[in-house]
Amino acid sequence: MATTTIMLKLIVLYVAINVVSMTIVTAEKGKVGAPMFIFGDSTMDVGTNNYLPNSTSRADHPYNGIDFADSKPTGRFSNGKNAADQLAKLLGNYKASPPPFLSFLKQNQTYFNRTILRGANFASGGSGVFNQTGSALFKQVISMEDQIKQFATYRSNITQLLGSQKAVDALLRKSIYIISVGGNDLVEYAMFHRGQIGDPKQLIFNLTKVYSIHLTNLYNLGARKFGIIGVPPIGCCPASRGFNATGGCYEAMNDNARSFYKSLATLLSDSALMYKDFKYSLGNSYEMAMNVIDNPRGNRFKEVKTACCGSGNFKGEGDCVTGASLCNNRDDYLFWDKVHPTQKVSQLAALTLVYGEGSEYVTPMNFSSLAMT
């Protein structure tokens, strides 16, 4: 009799614990969204390059990360979170971007199994659409082509974890693929073609062609929902203003950024016609940033030309390193360092991409609609 009571109590207890843990699991599952995969350059890198010993494109040093708890530099080219983090937060309710794919290789199996199904970040600062972009300037970066090869490895890793190809395909189909790349290709072209930058039609044509190969490769690996971000007005960053004697934006670079955006728009609408279930959003970071540059006050910014951290003219000549000049009111600034935006700007951009209305900044749908299709 006594034993039965105890057993009954144990069963009740067991059921109760089960119900509680099930509720927690369900709540968490309901909260975080589909996996996210992030590709591209330093606008999205959350520490990939920390794992590249020879790379000179890195942000794992102060004052990067100064606005994180204990001011920890993480490899993000920012005073705090970057656009990858903000998008992950808004789209998936994650605390931050999924970790760099390269960091998984150093982790134990428990962490790997638990974390990898949330996605991975492959972005590498200094990289570009072209294979060779960044390799001369920064010695070691992970090209888009290699980022996509790493995604193929990721795919084989989760196939082991999930056990069936069908489950993998379903997971990858509902995931979002963020790509932000092209700025470095255009900057390198301008650096190596000073003076004869007038007719870059062939450059834009080539870039678009290689971009289309990347998209096709991702599609063939199972990607369906693409959140693509265009090239910002690179001619207006503090590093570029030195090319303009009046301190204005370097227009030749901006012209190329706009042309590339147009060309990308055509590529994406063609891809949606050509490939079954190909869905996309295209974010116009050029117009978003120009809106802030042309109207700082309306956007609650005070300084849109000079960087917060760096040295030289517009603080656009020297890197943001210990001892460089550093501003106090980071949220007043558009630029964190000579090329990268502040955390505040990344947050605004992500809000616009995810929830934007109308086609000025994101087309043909915003990222939240893309996530729900």
Ligand X SMILES: *[C@@H]1O[C@H](CO)[C@@H](O)[C@H](O)[C@H]1NC(C)=O
Q: Which of 212, 271, 299, 369 binds ligand X (CB under 6 A)?
A: 369
Residues 6+ away with beta carbon under 8 Å from 231: 182, 183, 186, 256, 257, 260, 261, 285, 286
- Of 42, 78, 103, 175, the active-site residue reads 42
Of residues 84 through 123, those in contact with ligand X by CB under 6 A are 107-113
**Contact status: 49 vs ligand X (CB under 6 A):** no
Q: Pick between residue 5 and residue 109 the one whose CB is nearest to ligand X.
A: 109
Residue, CB closest to ligand X: 248
What single-letter amino acid sits at 59? A
**Contact status: 248 vs ligand X (CB under 6 A):** yes
**Contact status: 357 vs ligand X (CB under 6 A):** yes
Q: Backbone dihedral region of 329: left (phi > 0), alpha (psi from -120 to 50 degrees) or beta?
A: beta
CB count in 10 Å sphere of residue 93 = 12
**Contact status: 365 vs ligand X (CB under 6 A):** yes
Residues 6+ away with beta carbon under 8 Å from 328: none
CA atoms of 37 and 153, how far apart (whole Å): 13
The answer to whether 172 and 31 are in contact (CB under 8 A) is no
CA atoms of 82 and 78, how far apart (whole Å): 6
Q: Pick between residue 14 and residue 355 the one whose CB is nearest to ligand X.
A: 355
Write each residue from 139 to 178 as x if it is in contact with ligand X (CB under 6 A), else as -, in one continuous string.
-x----xx------x--xx--xx-----------------
* Residue found by looking up tokens 């007043």 in the block: 332
Question: H/E element holding 283?
Answer: strand 279-283
164 is catalytic: no
To ligand X, the closest distance from the beta carbon of 368 in angstroms equals 4
To ligand X, the closest distance from the beta carbon of 89 in angstroms equals 15
Q: Pick between residue 116 and residue 179 the one whose CB is nearest to ligand X.
A: 116
Q: Is 182 exposed, middle or buried (0-12, 13-18, 19+ CB in 10 A)?
A: buried
337 is catalytic: yes
Q: Pick between residue 269 and residue 369 the one whose CB is nearest to ligand X.
A: 369
To ligand X, the closest distance from the beta carbon of 84 in angstroms equals 20
Q: Angle, nearest 10°, between helix axes 343-355 and 285-294? A: 120
359 is catalytic: no
Stretch that binds ligand X, among 37-45, 242-250, 292-300, 339-347 (CB under 6 A): 242-250
To ligand X, the closest distance from the beta carbon of 145 in angstroms equals 5
Q: Pick between residue 125 and residue 327 the one whose CB is nearest to ligand X.
A: 125
Kindly provide the b/e burial profile for residues 257-280, where b requires at least 16 CB atoms within 10 angstroms of the residue's own CB. Answer: bbbbbebbbebbeebeeeeeebbb
* Residue found by looking up tokens 């040295």 in the block: 311
Stretch that binds ligand X, among 94-102, 248-256, 271-279, 340-348 (CB under 6 A): 248-256
Q: Pick between residue 107 and residue 313 the one whose CB is nearest to ligand X.
A: 107
Q: Which of 3, 5, 246, 329 binds ligand X (CB under 6 A)?
A: 246
> Positive or negative, the Cα torsion across 123, 125, 127, 132?
negative
**Contact status: 360 vs ligand X (CB under 6 A):** no
Q: Which of 71, 131, 165, 295 binds ligand X (CB under 6 A)?
A: 131
Q: Catalytic amino acids? A: 42, 337, 340
